[in-house]
């Protein structure tokens, strides 16, 4: 029997996204966000508030990067969610992380995170119920040590963090339990 829990954001898993952008002076700012998703083969939607320093930077510079946080860098990823660039202008420097300018967009690539999407600002959607930053992905770069033999990202090697809104926890993904577009194929045959 189910127990009513009220109104909560009951979606799991959530990504742990590291959104990075330069400010008008070229200073790197990074924020941790879980409310983001792919919204087309070459677009990502970030549901982030207008008041974030990173959002302000994206509006100004018109570019950003999105990295997937991994287990090896969980403390720094969490710090990027705790500290705000509006009150701590040197927040990136405090981590000791390194950033290089993307070859594709005017945004920083954080070297410590294993995979990054380099994005141009496509649009900002703002309604009464939504503030979303939409980015056009112009390149994806990944460390070679997370790639499989076929040159694609291997989730088992990535050790990507997953955010849990129920218990405020971080988990690691990686175990493959089935093949997409195949696990349910037998049901297609049974119903025809």
To the nearest 10°, report the CA torsion of 180, 181, 184, 190. Answer: -170
To the nearest 10°, report the CA torsion of 104, 108, 109, 112. Answer: 170
Segment 86-100 mean pLDDT = 94
Segment 157-162 mean pLDDT = 95
- Distance, CA of 106 to CA of 104 (rounded, Å): 7
* 3 within some domain: no
- Distance, CA of 17 to CA of 32 (rounded, Å): 6
Q: Is 72 helix (H, G, I), strand (E, B) or coil?
A: helix
* 27 within some domain: yes
| Per-residue model confidence as pLDDT tens digits over 19-39 | 999 999 999 999 999 999 999
* 80 within some domain: yes
**Least confident residue range of 118-122, 158-162, 181-185:** 181-185
Which phi and psi (to 5°) does residue 128 adopt? -60, -30
* 129 within some domain: yes
* 2 within some domain: no
36: domain CATH number is 2.30.110.10
pTM for the whole structure: 0.94
- Dihedral sign (CA 122, 126, 129, 131): positive
* 176 within some domain: yes
Distances (CA, A) of 35 to 3, 50, 101, 107, 120: 25, 14, 25, 20, 19
- In which domain, by residue range, is 90 found? 14-190
Query: Which pair of structure tokens corresponds to residue 28?
Result: 């790197």
The number of distinct structural domains making up the chain is 1
* 144 within some domain: yes
* 130 within some domain: yes
């Amino acid at each position: 029997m189910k127990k009513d829990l009220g109104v909560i954001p009951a979606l799991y898993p959530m990504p742990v996204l590291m959104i990075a952008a330069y400010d008008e002076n070229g200073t790197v700012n990074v924020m941790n966000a879980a409310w983001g998703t792919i919204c087309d083969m070459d677009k990502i939607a970030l549901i982030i508030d207008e008041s974030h320093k990173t959002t302000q930077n994206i509006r100004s510079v018109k570019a950003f990067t999105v990295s997937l946080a991994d287990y090896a860098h969980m403390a720094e990823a969490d710090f990027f969610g705790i500290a705000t660039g509006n009150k701590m202008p040197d927040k990136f420097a405090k981590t000791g992380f390194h950033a290089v300018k993307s070859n594709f967009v005017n945004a920083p690539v954080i070297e410590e995170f294993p995979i990054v999407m380099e994005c141009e600002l496509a649009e900002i959607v703002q309604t009464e119920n939504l503030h979303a930053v939409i980015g056009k992905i112009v390149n994806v770069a990944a460390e070679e040590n997370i790639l499989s033999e076929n040159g694609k990202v291997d989730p088992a090697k990535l050790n990507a963090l997953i955010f849990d809104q129920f218990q405020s926890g971080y988990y690691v993904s990686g175990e493959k339990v089935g093949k997409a577009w195949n696990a349910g194929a037998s049901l297609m045959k049974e119903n025809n």
